[in-house]
Structures are given as structure tokens and as C-alpha cells.
């Protein structure tokens, strides 16, 4: 691949990374606000996960900046620290969602409404699908495992959006008890999985990821 073409694709990868950071920040702010005000644990947990994904996105953006300067063979200290912070935050989120779901079930708490959760989930599904396809495409063209793995992380966010959509939709239509708590447990499972993978990748330091998410 010519140097000019390589740099153009790296710049596009960086733009996608910045879009991911900005989108997840906005999504996190809106989701946590309405999750708290409407008392929907699934939406609140989804929002906190969005903030954690911002940390991961910053690590990827930093890696792309390094790739623009020279060839890289392993993660640097900043990227490893970002992975460890991301993993810790995801583990804390997992525990918080499990405890919150237990309390909600014991107290028979139900959301006031899950309409906002439905809207955010639909927007997130469309956005994450676009980002996943574009990241995967540019990662394959650059033959960059970190960018391909970041695309797979975005695909995980795509799945989380479906969990939010299903739990929010079912509750809003049929008002089935505990469905919001069950949805939050689904988010907790993915948060735990992502957290474990973040620590594994931080430990290995390698840019070739055996897991689906870098």
C-alpha cells in the first residue's frame, strides 16, 4: 500500500475513533440522566457502559496517532493503563448492576417509562452498525489487528443496544415486572466479559488480540 493511501486510511480510522468517543459521551450523558430520572436500571447501566467505552476509545485513538508516526509492535504504557482502567470500571459496573437488579427485584421497583431507552437503543443500533462496518473495512485494508479488534468492540455495543431495546420495548408495551432488571443483568454479563478481555489484553501487551475486543 502506498504511503499516501496508508495515511488516508489511518486518518479515516482516527475520524471513526473520534466519532465513537463523542457519540459515547453524549449517549452516556443522556442515558444516565434519563435512566436515573425514569428509574430504569437497564438504561442507566447502558449509559455508564458508554462512558467506559469512551476510555477504551481514547486508548485506540492514541494507538492510531502512534501508528501515524511510525510502525508499532506492542502497546505503550498509556494504552495498557487505559485498558486496566477500562477493565476495572467494567467490573465495578458489573457488580453495581447485579446489586441494583437484586434491590429492584426485592423492592418490586419498576421504571416510570422506558420510552427514552427505546429511542436511544434504536439510534445506537444504527450508529454502532455503521461504525462497526467502517472500522472493520479500514482495519482489514490496513491489515491492523487493533483496529479490527476495536470494530469487534463496537459490535459488542451493537449487541448491548439490542438488549436495551428488547427489555425497554417489552416493558413499555406489556409492563412485565422485573424485565428492566433482567435487561440490566444482560448488560452486566457483557460488561464483565469486556472487563475480563481488557485485563487480558493489558497483560499480554501484544497488538494481536486473541479475544474479540481490544
Cα–Cα distance, 131 to 150 (Å, whole number): 10
Q: How far, CA to CA in Å, does 136 sit from each of 27, 82, 192, 207, 212? A: 22, 22, 24, 16, 12
Question: Distance (Å, rounded) from C-alpha 76 to C-alpha 72?
Answer: 9
Burial of 42 (0-12, 13-18, 19+ CB in 10 A): buried
Domains of the chain in sequence order? 3-204 (1.20.1510)
User: What does the DSSP assignment read for 173-186?
Assistant: HH--TTHHHHHHHH
Could you report the per-residue pLDDT of 41-60, keeping only the tens digit for each? Answer: 999 999 999 999 999 899 99
**What value does the mean pLDDT of the chain take?**
92
Overall residue count recorded for the chain in this entry: 214
d(CA 135, CA 7): 15
pLDDT by residue for the chain (214 residues), tens only, comes to 677 898 899 999 999 999 999 999 999 999 999 999 999 999 999 999 999 999 989 999 999 989 888 877 788 899 999 999 999 999 999 999 999 999 999 999 999 999 999 999 999 999 999 999 999 999 999 988 888 988 988 999 999 999 999 999 999 999 999 999 999 999 999 999 999 999 998 888 766 554 445 4
d(CA 2, CA 147): 19
Amino acid at each position: 500500500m502506498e504511503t499516501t493511501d496508508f495515511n488516508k486510511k489511518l486518518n479515516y480510522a482516527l475520524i471513526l475513533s473520534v466519532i465513537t468517543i463523542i457519540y459515547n459521551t453524549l449517549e452516556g450523558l443522556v442515558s444516565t440522566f434519563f435512566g436515573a430520572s425514569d428509574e430504569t436500571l437497564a438504561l442507566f447501566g447502558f449509559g455508564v457502559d458508554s462512558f467506559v467505552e469512551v476510555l477504551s476509545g481514547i486508548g485506540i485513538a492514541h494507538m492510531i496517532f502512534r501508528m501515524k508516526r511510525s510502525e508499532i509492535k506492542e502497546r505503550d504504557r498509556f494504552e495498557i493503563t487505559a485498558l486496566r482502567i477500562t477493565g476495572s470500571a467494567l467490573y465495578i459496573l458489573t457488580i453495581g448492576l447485579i446489586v441494583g437488579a437484586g434491590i429492584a427485584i426485592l423492592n418490586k421497583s419498576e421504571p416510570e417509562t422506558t420510552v427514552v431507552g427505546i429511542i436511544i437503543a434504536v439510534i445506537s443500533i444504527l450508529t454502532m452498525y455503521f461504525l462497526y462496518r467502517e472500522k472493520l473495512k479500514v482495519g482489514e485494508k490496513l491489515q491492523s489487528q487493533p483496529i479490527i479488534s476495536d470494530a469487534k468492540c463496537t459490535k459488542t455495543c451493537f449487541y448491548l443496544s439490542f438488549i436495551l431495546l428488547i427489555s425497554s420495548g417489552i416493558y413499555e408495551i406489556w409492563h412485565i415486572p422485573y424485565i428492566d432488571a433482567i435487561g440490566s443483568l444482560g448488560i452486566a454479563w457483557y460488561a464483565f466479559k469486556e472487563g475480563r478481555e481488557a485485563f487480558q489484553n493489558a497483560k499480554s501487551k501484544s497488538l494481536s488480540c486473541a479475544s474479540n475486543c481490544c
